Amino acid sequence: MRDFFEIKDGKRILAMVFRHRLKADGVKFLTPQSYPLQVGLLQHPGGKKIKAHRHRNLRYKVNTTQEFLYIASGELEATIYRNDWTVVKKVILKPGDFILSVTGGHGFRVLKRCRVIEIKQGPYPGDTKAKIFKLGE
């Protein structure tokens, strides 16, 4: 089983899946710099000091919502769709795995009672404005 893989529709990346076994030597950013949501993996030995810092107030133009889910416990099945709701792939996520939904559609089915941390851009305008739901679900 691979530690990282992309789910694609042709050349277009729909989602990026990262397994709990994925390693980094120091700081490793897993997403392209152009993505509006940056996902990085930091792995350091005990005693390592990370310089104190703060972030500048910058204005970003973002016209898409990317969504990050970290599976803290349990199991979740993610279904990744094209924009026309054709299923591209189903993948089972286990504790420590994480997924970035880049574009297209996605749905989830809880296989084992789970705890998931979700991160996406804000401010959130609510489901009516932010989401297009698949009919019949």
pLDDT digits (tens, 9 = 90+) for 25-53: 999 999 999 999 999 999 999 999 999 99
- Say which DSSP state 133 is in: P
pLDDT exceeds cutoff 90 at 102: yes
- Which alpha helices (H) appear in the chain, and where do they start and end? 127-130
Helix/strand/coil percent split, the chain, to 5: 5, 45, 50
Do the beta carbons of residue 14 and residue 88 sit within 8 Å? yes
Mean pLDDT confidence for 15-20: 96
